[in-house]
Amino acid sequence: MLQFTHKTTVAAELSLTLNYELRQKSRQRVKLDNGVVAGLFLERGIILRDGDCLSTDAGETVLIKAAKETVSTVHCDNALLLSRACYHLGNRHVALQVSEKFIRYQHDHVLDELCHGLGLEVICEEAAFEPESGAYGDYGHMQGHAHSHPHKSDHDH
Percent of the chain with pLDDT over 70: 85
Q: What is the pLDDT of residue 133?
A: 83
CB 114 within 8 A of CB 96: no
Q: Which domains are present in the chain?
A: 2-66 (2.60.260.20), 68-128 (3.30.70.790)
First to last CA, the chain: 45
Q: What is the CA radius of gyration of the chain?
A: 18
pLDDT in tens, 74-124: 999 999 999 999 999 999 999 999 998 899 999 999 999 999 999 999 999
CA distance 94 to 131: 9
Q: At 17, which helix (H) or strand (E)?
A: strand 14-18
CA nearest to 74, candidates 20, 110, 49, 111: 111
Assign 15 a pLDDT band (cuts: 50, 70, 90). Answer: very high
